[in-house]
Amino acid sequence: MNILISNDDGIYSPGLLALAKVASKFGSVRIVAPDVEQSSMGHAITSARPLNYKKTPIEDFDAFRINGTPADCVTLGCFLWKETDVVLSGINLGPNLGNAIWHSGTLAAAKQGTLLGKKGIAFSTPSVSGEYNFDRIERFVIEVLELLLKDSRPNLINVNLPPDPQGLKWTKQSVRHYDGMVKPGTDPMGRQHYWYTVTPIEDTDEDSDRWAMERGYVSLTPLRIDLTDETALAQANQHAAGISRG
């Protein structure tokens, strides 16, 4: 199995190396990742200038750094390595839960893999007091890959690992609350500025990604590319049929 690994934290992230080491137990690994951090860039692609890559061996891995976004890395990686079967992204330094997955570069890399016909899996984990312990979650990353690599469906999965997991749970994306907020402030010159930040969410929906993580479970959320609201579409068609019957 040919495994392409990318992320949004940049090619030198310890989370990317931790994922590459685990993935190498499952197949042949190639790393194609952004040259600098691209967190919260979502699924942006670079179309106004050309991209290039530089070979950047990381330990024993074939690795390439690209002057682009996570989605660019996966596109170029799959173009240059056509035999790619699976795209893994992460392990992100920080969780990607609920509404955050709309702007997650980590998920976007996996999503770009799925758009190109590959299986895409995104991995994220929160820190404990600013520290990341990848040894502690390694066993669970292995368990997740054993589970997800054996079937073709689901083909896009968002995985979040708590610092000290006690098992796996399939979950849904928690979207009831939006946790983004704007915090105004002033700079040292007295000029107004604005920080885009997050507010903690207290009550979480049962069986959601956030709910599972709060209880110490690895959260696996199967996602789809098609965002169509099927209920709204059916209602709109029904309404349109009513109008045409007049």
Question: In the complex, which residues of this chain contact Mn ion (CB under 5 A)?
Answer: 8-9, 39, 92
Burial (CB count <10 Å: 0-12, 13-18, 19+), residue 20: buried
List, in sequence order, every beta strand (DSSP E) within the chain.
2-6, 28-34, 53-55, 62-66, 86-93, 119-125, 156-160, 168-170, 180-186, 192-198, 218-222
If the CB atoms of residues 103 and 177 are measured against Mn ion, the closer one turns out to be 103
Q: How far is the CB of 105 from Mn ion (least distance, A)?
A: 6
If the CB atoms of residues 124 and 204 are measured against Mn ion, the closer one turns out to be 124
Q: How far is the CB of 239 from Mn ion (least distance, A)?
A: 42
Nearest alpha-carbon partner for 86 in 46, 116, 52? 116
Are 34 and 74 in contact, with CB atoms under 8 Å apart? no
Q: How far is the CB of 27 from Mn ion (least distance, A)?
A: 24
Nearest alpha-carbon partner for 102 in 159, 45, 43? 43
Q: Tell me how long the chain is.
A: 246
If the CB atoms of residues 5 and 149 are measured against Mn ion, the closer one turns out to be 5
If the CB atoms of residues 91 and 149 are measured against Mn ion, the closer one turns out to be 91
Question: Which residue is closest to Mn ion by CB?
Answer: 39
Q: How far is the CB of 106 from Mn ion (least distance, A)?
A: 6
Q: How far is the CB of 90 from Mn ion (least distance, A)?
A: 8
If the CB atoms of residues 69 and 149 are measured against Mn ion, the closer one turns out to be 69
